[in-house]
Amino acid sequence: MNSSLILSSTTFIYALASVFYIGSFSFKKQVLAKLGFWVIVIGFLGNTSGILIRWVESYQMGYGHAPFSNMYESLVFFSWTMAVLYIFVEFKYRESILGVFIAPLIFLAIAYASFDPSVSSKINPLIPALKSNWLIAHVITCFLGYAGFAVAFGFSFIYFIKPKDPHSKSVFARLPSWEVIDDLTYQMIVFRFLFLTIGIITGAVWANSAWGTYWSWDPKETWSLVTWFVYAIFLHLRMMKGWHGRNLALVSIIGFLAVLFTYFGVNYLLSGLHSYG
């Protein structure tokens, strides 16, 4: 069994987890949420094995590189990092209802990699600029940051659908308390902001070794900096101004839109040194 088949199967496993979580939320059946959690764990294991087998396959083909070099591989790793974070969150907070907002994001990332014909799953040799020991450190730290921002994005939406009336009979009234949502969003961002910062630094060092300059205002470099500033503003407002609730959640959503443009928009709409990503 090759990595592409395993990762394609993992796509359907994450889809099933999303169905279980949405079904649990819609029909108020906790057993479905528990099933959804274990299905996500199974998907995570499949995701992990797919990445590792793809890594081995690259060596068997004579290329010998970590599977983080193109859009397909980065999307697969993106889904993996989101799954890791969500499993940790549910294990720690026991709020299975949060899977309604996160499981579909995990599924969509790997589904885009699996089903979009413009995203090739072929293993290719590294281009010269990617032949560096900094590849793994840069990609892992950046995507741990991206995954945390994606999870925070899912949590931020709760602010806009949870009723303010504590006695509301709406299905959305069962969502976690404002305090839990606020704490989760903040934790996801504050720690992932550190990873994004490290990712930008390792990227600068890598750029210097590959192109002879630490910073060239390449579109992806520029938008990574824009994303960094948005989340820096989030942390400033949260810690210095004491912001909470919807206004801060809106900043989180804007930040993730910046992440999406850094990830997808730069690759498809702007040309630059990172266009191969």
- Kindly give, in sequence order, each residue whose CB lies less than 8 Å from that of residue 14, ignoring residues fewer than 6 positions away: 39, 40, 43, 79, 83, 103, 106, 107, 110, 111
Location of structure tokens 């992990």:
48
- Helix ranges (DSSP H) in the chain: 3-27, 30-60, 71-93, 99-115, 134-156, 158-161, 178-211, 219-239, 245-260, 266-269
Average pLDDT over residues 127-143: 82
pLDDT digits (tens, 9 = 90+) for 192-222: 899 999 999 998 888 887 777 887 888 888 8
pLDDT digits (tens, 9 = 90+) for 63-98: 888 888 888 999 999 999 999 999 999 988 888 888
Asked whether the CA dihedral 72, 76, 79, 81 is positive or negative, the reply is negative
- Residue 1's CB: how many other CB atoms inside 10 A? 9
Contact 105, 170 (CB under 8 A): no
Does the predicted model carry a pTM greater than 0.85?
A: yes
pLDDT of residue 273: 55
Residue whose C-alpha is closest to residue 203's, from 135, 106, 273: 135
Q: Residue 105 pLDDT more than 90?
A: yes
Q: Residue 271 pLDDT more than 70?
A: no
How far is C-alpha 263 from the chain's CA centre? Answer: 11
Location of structure tokens 């990830």:
263
Of 49 and 119, more confident: 49
| CA angle at 78 for the pair 40 and 62, rounded to the nearest 5° | 110
Average pLDDT over residues 110-130: 84
Residue whose C-alpha is closest to residue 231's, from 273, 267, 189, 198: 189
Q: How confident is the model at residue 272 (pLDDT cuts 50, 70, 90)?
A: low
